[in-house]
Amino acid sequence: MISKKDTTMSRTIRRKELRNIVPLADSTIYEMEQRGEFPRRFALTPRCVVWDLSEVQAWLAARRSTPILRAAGPDVTQRQTRPVKVLDRVQRAASTAG
């Protein structure tokens, strides 16, 4: 016996419409799908993949509700070329102040 929930049709969207909704590159979406961070696509035919619109909208709502923290800046003292030395900054500041 098929339940009513199983027979409900959900709207699917193709790649072009997904790009209008989610402003990310195809490669970024693919990588996020592989990591489980984005709704998975599924194939209708061998040449046509689609996403479930309700899953994409739920993903967007979840992204809006949780803030994404900015990544910390690079530690410039660890650079291989032109490393910034803290001691040099202190010496320069002392020589220009006096």
Q: Check residue 24 and give its pLDDT.
A: 94
CB 77 within 8 A of CB 85: yes
pLDDT in tens, 22-71: 999 999 999 999 999 999 999 999 999 999 999 999 999 999 898 878 88
Q: Write down the residue that tokens 């799908």 correspond to.
A: 33
Q: Residue ranges of the domains in the chain? A: 9-66
Spatial distance between the Cα atoms of 42 and 51, rounded to a whole number of angstroms: 6
Task: Report pLDDT digits (tens) over 63-85.
Answer: 989 887 888 888 877 777 776 76
For residues 53 and 18, what is the distance between their CA atoms, to the nearest angstrom? 9
pTM for this prediction: 0.62
